[in-house]
Amino acid sequence: MASKKKHIQIYDTTLRDGAQSENITFTVGDKLRICTQLDQAGFDYIEAGWPGASPKDTDFFDRAKKELKLKHAKLVAFGSTRKASNSPEKDKILNDLIAAQTKVVCIFGKTWDLHVRSALRISLKENLKLITDSVAYLKKAGREVIYDAEHFFDGYKANKKYALDTLQAAAKGGADRIVLCDTNGGTLPDEIEKLVKDIKSKMRMPLGIHCHNDSGTAVANSMAAVKAGVTQVQGCVNGIGERCGNANLVTIVANLELKLGFHCIGAPQLKNLRELSLFVDEMANRASDARQPYVGLSAFAHKGGMHVNAILKNSKTYEHIDPTRVGNQQRILLSDYSGASTMFYKLKKYGVDISATDPHVTKLLTTLKDKENQGYHYEGAEGSFEILVKKAMGDYKPHFELKDFRVTDEVVSDSGGKATSEAEVHLAVNGHEEKTTAKGVGPVHAIDQALRGALERFYPSIAQMKLLDYKVRVLPANLEGTAATVRVLIEFGDDKTQWGTIGVSENIIHASYQALVDGIDFKLFKDRV
């Protein structure tokens, strides 16, 4: 077991290496906001881009000088060794790094003799000189210099002596730390640990590790390197990055802190890991991975009745840590695998004080399984589930009654193919009959607007709720072409919380109406409590 006092530096490259991921683009504003979050999370280094490589990165470093106020992390400018045709003093890459005015710079150089001969097309000796010259020039400018040994593990396996010579060239130039990079992501954990130990025995200077995930082992490789003696881990939040991504710092930090006893960001900051993960995904405009270890929505979700029964007695039976330590929470899912224990847990959560042996629990369980057979799916629709509970317990009083509704879609020839939708709803509300018509950009939007138009004068708080997400799926058991049964899931939110509802029907409009009505009903029940 490692000493609990030993600190492992966390070096984040989400904004540089992570931004090279397919379909991910960060604006300058995004990068500034993410830097602030990484700093607050307790990360040690933030590699934010390559000054001079693009107008965006140049603009970022210009704005960072004026706008970014980091309290803990060190901002890092990234680049490469000088070009072979330039002296350090005349090399644009090195001078752009100095002009960025960060206290720390990170440059990479060629370690693999194959790259020196095939990519740079210079002699092996000349490559060593440009590594030493580049590091020395940046050190002379007063910078902390981190040297990334690109393709180190491939290079070391191909030509051990030369790969070691490149590390010694960086050390000769005065590098503060050398980082061993598995750039192609093809090395496995046992190799990483063995080779890092070998380098540790030959070089007496701080080492780091930088792993890619092409073999699915980037996290394991990073941890193996730490066990072998490196004191800095480079990677990205959520494991984003080109090809298969970089080592996932969220998982690595949690593993090092909670499993191996190292200090990375500390217990208080660990509780913000899920929030950090969600924030970066939001900035990257991508859906979060529900199955991501530690911080994913499903990381501590339990569905099977036997599992639920066990964790209600002792959460350690099916949870490897307390989820709150990383800002997550335990979730009990509802499905046809659910047992009475699951139902009892859910009822308690909704404030229903009832014995697990009460006949209502058995009735609810039967109703739930019947609904599941019809295609209902309450794992993402707990608003609809609470309404189901209220109905079964005799505690349901509808806020309005549907008389009828209709929806029409129209495409006019001179509209350029653009469709318009109109919905009319006829409701009974508190003894009054309301008939309202509204237009929308689509049928669901039109129904939503018509319902709001009819109900808001009776229930003004409806104006606070927003439709956040809408999903429709064809149920696989009913693959009957356009006549198939569909399931509609809608997510709503207001200024306090979010909730999901569900509708199932062979008619997509009817299924959508069910989910919309449950969403409004849940909002009104919630406001009444």
Exposed (0-12), middle (13-18) or buried (19+): which is 250, by Cβ within 10 Å? buried
Tell me if residue 170 falls in helix, strand or coil: helix
Closest CA to 57 of 106, 103, 96, 88: 96
Domain stops at, among 434, 458, 482: 458
Measured CA to CA in angstroms, residue 216 lies from 239, 248, 479, 508 at distances of 11, 11, 35, 40
pLDDT reading at 1 higher than 50: no
**In the prediction, which pLDDT does 3 show?**
45
Closest CA to 146 of 201, 78, 59: 78
Residue that wins the pLDDT comparison between 365 and 30: 30
Specify the number of domains making up the chain. Answer: 3
Exposed (0-12), middle (13-18) or buried (19+): which is 414, by Cβ within 10 Å? exposed
pLDDT reading at 489 higher than 80: yes
Question: What H or E segment, with its residue span, contains residue 265?
Answer: none
Domain stops at, among 417, 437, 458: 458
Residue 142: phi, psi to the nearest 5? 90, 20
- pLDDT bucket at 310, cuts 50 / 70 / 90: low
Q: Are residues 174 and 237 in the same domain?
A: yes
The answer to whether residue 37 is domain-embedded is yes
The answer to whether residue 355 is domain-embedded is yes
Per-residue pLDDT averaged across 2-28, rounded? 89
CATH of the domain at 124: 3.20.20.70
pLDDT, one tens digit per residue, over 501-528 is: 999 998 999 999 999 999 999 999 888 7
- The Cα–Cα gap between 529 and 526 comes to 6
Q: Are residues 70 and 147 in the same domain?
A: yes
Residue that wins the pLDDT comparison between 343 and 196: 196
Domain range for residue 339? 301-374
pLDDT reading at 423 higher than 80: yes
The answer to whether residue 510 is domain-embedded is no
Q: Are residues 269 and 343 in the same domain?
A: no
Residue that wins the pLDDT comparison between 397 and 147: 147
- pLDDT bucket at 71, cuts 50 / 70 / 90: very high
pLDDT, one tens digit per residue, over 382-417 is: 888 888 888 877 778 889 999 999 999 888 766 666
CATH of the domain at 444: 3.30.160
**In the prediction, which pLDDT does 411 show?**
80
- Of 73-77, 321-325, 505-509, highest mean pLDDT: 73-77
The answer to whether 263 and 234 have CB atoms below 8 angstroms apart is no
Q: Are residues 365 and 407 in the same domain?
A: no
Per-residue pLDDT averaged across 261-273, rounded? 95
The answer to whether residue 474 is domain-embedded is no
**In the prediction, which pLDDT does 392 show?**
77
**In the prediction, which pLDDT does 203 show?**
93
Measured CA to CA in angstroms, residue 388 lies from 351, 391, 396, 397 at distances of 14, 5, 9, 12
pLDDT reading at 107 higher than 50: yes
The answer to whether 254 and 293 have CB atoms below 8 angstroms apart is yes
Domain stops at, among 326, 358, 374: 374
pLDDT reading at 360 higher than 90: no
Residues with Cβ within 8 Å of 41's Cβ and at least 6 positions away in sequence, in order, are 265, 269, 272, 273, 276
Q: Are residues 313 and 251 in the same domain?
A: no
Query: Percentage of the chain surpassing pLDDT 90?
Result: 68
Q: Are residues 410 and 277 in the same domain?
A: no
Tokens 């039967």, residue located: 366
The answer to whether residue 253 is domain-embedded is yes
Q: Are residues 280 and 309 in the same domain?
A: no
User: Considering the chain, what is the average pLDDT of its residues?
Assistant: 89
Q: Are residues 120 and 216 in the same domain?
A: yes
- pLDDT bucket at 287, cuts 50 / 70 / 90: confident
pLDDT reading at 2 higher than 50: no
Task: Indicate the pairing of strand 486-493 with strand 498-505.
Answer: antiparallel
Q: Are residues 267 and 315 in the same domain?
A: no
Q: Are residues 123 and 265 in the same domain?
A: yes
**In the prediction, which pLDDT does 513 show?**
94
**In the prediction, which pLDDT does 312 show?**
63
The answer to whether residue 466 is domain-embedded is no
- The Cα–Cα gap between 236 and 210 comes to 10
Q: What is the CA radius of gyration of the chain?
A: 29
- Strands, DSSP E only, in 34-143? 45-49, 74-80, 104-110
SS (H, E, C) 361-418: HHHHHHHHHHHHHHCCCHHHCHHHHHHHHHHHCCCCCCCCEEEEEEEEEEECHHHCCC
Q: Are residues 46 and 195 in the same domain?
A: yes
The answer to whether residue 386 is domain-embedded is no
The answer to whether residue 486 is domain-embedded is no
Query: Percentage of the chain surpassing pLDDT 70?
Result: 88
Q: Are residues 94 and 35 in the same domain?
A: yes
